[in-house]
Amino acid sequence: MPGIIYTPAHADHKPESELHGSRRELGPHPDNPERVKRILDAVKELSWAEIREFGERDLSRNFFQVHASGLIDYFRDLQNSFDRGELDPFVADLVAHRAAGSFSNRTAPRTVRGLTGWYCTDAQTPLTAGTWGAVCAAFASAVQAAELVRDGTHSVTYALCRPPGHHAGRDFFGGYCYLNNAAGAASVLARSGPVAILDIDYHHGNGTQQIFYGSKRVFTASLHADPEHAYPFYSGYTDERGTGAGRRKNLNLPLPSRVTGEEYLKSLDKALGAIKRFRPKALVLSFGADIAEGDPIGDLGLTAEDVYSVGQAISKLNLPTVICQEGGYNLETIGEIALSFLRAFDRE
Ligand code: OKP
Ligand code: ZN
């Protein structure tokens, strides 16, 4: 029986606003706690799913498998500064541009403010007093989802992660993401054999790609909006194929705007073929409901029915699977879309 891993701790991360550049004004931040509430309400309908909540746990070992210690230390210092009342919610004032090193060989600055610019890749990823707690909870839910699959308790688990994770790399964060939940899950499973990560969020999972770019044990495939016109702009192109031992272990399939369900399934088939040839023992899915039509920051045309077909095609791989929630920002449809996708994994 599939299991759903959920924790209410996500609600402590509640970024208020985002700068909408083109409109020269602040608008509501797309990643709000309501997203999880809508998904949870919808997926409760799944008769076959068991919903598990969990408490705190020590994640240090799991952190360091996928993230640099400097990034984790920074987040912990940041939290201490919030706890001491030294900070108000903020975003990076600047990000570490390659020009930053042009005056000297200066490396990371020491203050929390300076380090935010060092580690964060954009100014859309707010830091608040409740952020780190929620981030740890999301990461823990992905790790726990992987452990339940590894131990054979469930053959499919769904970690209702918020904030999302796939834009967080080994030593950087951004794109509403802080720690890479899917990478945390994959690293648990990779101890027992080769693992494939399939990322079907609307945006390219640049963090996931970077973490495993040199790894031959973890194959990464991603379907996403063409980075020519979509975030994260600097990665997600077809010529990024992996490096060293990880050569040909990364596959990017950029999609045109308003792609139809039929076209999408053709690209998906390519990803699934490559995954089969890799012969993984387990699958980690980064699932974003922002691939559905009507997403406020996406422009694809997938209907709920298409999303079900996408789920079915993936489910047919018949691999032990951990599904991590990534994006999806249309509150009116996010529940229905997640439910359509998960229905496809009722395969026992
Ligand atoms: C996170 B996930 C909207 C601009 C979008 C960042 C997108 C991050 C998406 N005003 N900028 O992949 O869904
Ligand atoms: Zn996304």
Pairing outcome for strands 17-20 and 218-225: unpaired
Return the best residue to mutate from 199, 203, 206 for the ligand 1 pocket (most ligand atoms within 8 A of CB): 203
Answer whether 169 contacts ligand 1 (Cβ < 6 A). Answer: no
The kind and range of the H/E element at 325 are: strand 321-325
Q: Nearest residue CA, atom 13 of ligand 1?
A: 327
The Cα 124–Cα 240 span in angstroms is 25
Q: Are the C-beta atoms of 6 and 53 separated by less than 8 Å?
A: yes
Confidence category of residue 22, pLDDT binned at 50, 70, 90: low
The Cα 304–Cα 302 span in angstroms is 7
The Cα 110–Cα 220 span in angstroms is 34
Q: Nearest residue CA, atom 3 of ligand 1?
A: 297
User: What average pLDDT does the segment 218-230 reach?
Assistant: 98
From the CA of 201, which ligand is nearest? 2
- Residue 104 Cα to ligand 2 midpoint, Å, equals 37
Answer whether 175 contacts ligand 1 (Cβ < 6 A). Answer: yes
pLDDT tens across 43-70, in order? 998 887 888 887 778 899 999 999 999 9
Q: Nearest residue CA, atom 8 of ligand 1?
A: 175
Exactly one of 10, 167, 204, 224 is catalytic; name it. 167
- Residue 160 Cα to ligand 2 midpoint, Å, equals 15
Q: Per the confidence metrics, is the pTM higher than 0.75?
A: yes
pLDDT tens across 68-125, in order? 999 999 999 999 999 999 999 999 988 877 766 677 777 788 899 999 999 999 999 9
* 204 is annotated as an active-site residue: no
Pairing outcome for strands 195-199 and 156-159: unpaired
Q: Are the C-beta atoms of 248 and 219 separated by less than 8 Å?
A: no
**The two three-digit tokens of residue 158, written as one number:** 């769904």
Atom of ligand 1 nearest to the CA of 296: 3
Nearest partner of 5 among 146, 216, 214, 195, judged by Cα: 146
- Residue 251 Cα to ligand 1 midpoint, Å, equals 21
* Residue 33, burial from CB neighbour count under 10 angstroms (0-12, 13-18, 19+): middle
**The two three-digit tokens of residue 46, written as one number:** 């799944």
Answer whether 31 contacts ligand 1 (Cβ < 6 A). Answer: no
